[in-house]
Amino acid sequence: MINFQENDPSLESQWRAIILFGKNSATYKFAFGKALLELTSQEKSSITLKDLAPLFVDSILNHLKENDRQGNSNSSKFLNACREYNTNEITYDNLINITEKYGFNNVVDAFQNVNGAVIPNKFYEKDYAKTKRIVITDDLLKLKESIQFTNFNKEVDARWNLVETAWNLQINPNLLEVKIDDNLQTLFIENNFMRRIDITSAKASLNGYQKGKCFYSFQDISINSGDSNLCAVDHFFPHVHKINLNESGANVNGVWNLVLAEKFVNLDKSAKIPELKYLERLYKRNEFYIASKHPLGETIVNQTGKNSKERRMFLQKQYNLSVNLSIHKWKPKIELEPLF
């Protein structure tokens, strides 16, 4: 597995590692992550599970209305209570009591574990000595100072949407193919009846795996509409090569070929082919998806190869073909220290 935090042990990278690579047996992780982000805005130093419960459960209530399946388990007292509240069978106070008792049973201990180990800089400590509570660390509060902070909530939602959609559609992972609507810049899946199901923003889904940076220049980018540094979705291999790439068995609109770029970098690149070193970066970015057991990862495997050797050969084949069609190779005018 390619190490997501290699050359980048930052707090932002550790947060994203939790959301992108943490265990996905249930969506509690995403609800808990959104609650923690809200706590940074409130600048609280500690909070009881009872007081945390509304922040935690409200996200799950909203997601259950759209997708009933929120975990691998066939039965959950907590999720059943959420369903009962949504159908007016229990009161909100009852729901909060059940959330406090059952909702946090695994997520508090598991949230900060990635690939079998706790992250270096914990964002909270568990304190159940008297009253069940978590103690917020300075490292979580520091996240709010990061230029990346405004992207985190949308990234969590995008990851959540993709996971629950794959579960609820019950699609064989080998058949899963996430597609992009270029005009709307959204990702979607077609079910067995060829009905289109919109999933989430393409920018929000891609951003975390690029660490909130322009794929080419590593300048900070935003996924929030109206921001001055709002990024663009770029095709690494440009649309002008679509016919030739399609003939070679590659889908130029595939997720494997989509990256986020700073808007002026994107304009400068246009339909040019990046220098060879950026092909390795594309390979690494795609491997991040695959390592995280992400629905987009399954799509990339289906589109580019079943193992790392096949995927490298696939990318090199498309690169050789595109270079033969181009006159010049391109690199950005500004390029900061790469983080992957």
Average pLDDT value for residue range 286-299? 86
Cβ-in-10-Å burial (0-12, 13-18, 19+) of 71 comes to middle
Nearest to 105 by CA among 45, 22, 32: 32
89-146 pLDDT per residue, tens: 999 999 999 999 999 998 999 999 988 889 999 999 999 999 999 999 999 999 999 9
CA 210 to chain CA centroid, Å, is: 10
pLDDT value of residue 172? 62
* DSSP code of residue 230: B
160-215 pLDDT per residue, tens: 988 888 777 766 656 667 888 888 788 887 766 557 778 788 999 999 999 999 99
pLDDT value of residue 7? 75
Q: What are the CA-CA distances from residue 73 to residues 41, 112, 167, 216, 226 (Å)?
A: 33, 21, 11, 41, 40
pLDDT grade, residue 14 (50/70/90)? very high
Query: Among residues of the chain, what percentage have pLDDT more than 70?
Result: 94
pLDDT value of residue 22? 79
Q: Which single residue is written with the structure tokens 């990234």?
A: 155
Residue 300 is encoded by which pair of tokens? 């990339």
Residue 327 pLDDT exceeds 60:
yes
200-259 pLDDT per residue, tens: 889 999 999 999 999 999 999 999 999 999 999 999 998 776 766 667 778 888 889 999
Q: Which single residue is written with the structure tokens 């949504």?
A: 86
pLDDT value of residue 176? 66
pLDDT grade, residue 18 (50/70/90)? very high
Q: Is residue 14 helix, strand or coil? A: helix
Q: What share of the chain is helix, strand, coil (3-state, %, to 5)?
A: 50, 15, 35
Name the packing angle between helices 49-66 and 149-169 (round to 10°): 50
Residue 234 is encoded by which pair of tokens? 């770029």
Distance from C-alpha of 71 to C-alpha of 60, rounded to nearest angstrom? 11
pLDDT value of residue 192? 62
- Domains of the chain: which residue ranges? 11-143, 163-330
